[in-house]
Amino acid sequence: MNNNINGTVDGHSVVEYASLDASVKELIEAAIKVRNNAYCPYSNFPVGAALRTTTGEIVTGCNVENGTFGPSVCAERTAVCKAISEGHREFTAVAVAAYQETEFTAPCGTCRQTLSEFSAKDIPIYLVKPSPVRVMITSLFKLLPHAFSPTFLNK
Measured CA to CA, the distance from residue 11 to residue 77 in angstroms comes to 25
Q: Which of 76, 86, 101, 103 is catalytic?
A: 76
Any binding-site annotation on 108? yes
Q: Which DSSP symbol is given to 111?
A: H
In three-state secondary structure terms, 9 is: strand
Q: Is there a catalytic annotation at residue 16? A: no
Measured CA to CA, the distance from residue 92 to residue 57 in angstroms comes to 10
Any binding-site annotation on 74? yes
Q: Compute CA distances 116 → 18, 91, 132, 138, whole Å.
A: 29, 10, 25, 14
Measured CA to CA, the distance from residue 139 to residue 154 in angstroms comes to 26
Any binding-site annotation on 81? no
Task: Return the percent helix, strand and coil in the chain, to nearest 5.
Answer: 30, 30, 40
Measured CA to CA, the distance from residue 31 to residue 146 in angstroms comes to 27
Q: Which residues are catalytic?
A: 76
Annotated binding site for Zn(2+): 74, 108, 111
Annotated binding site: 74, 108, 111
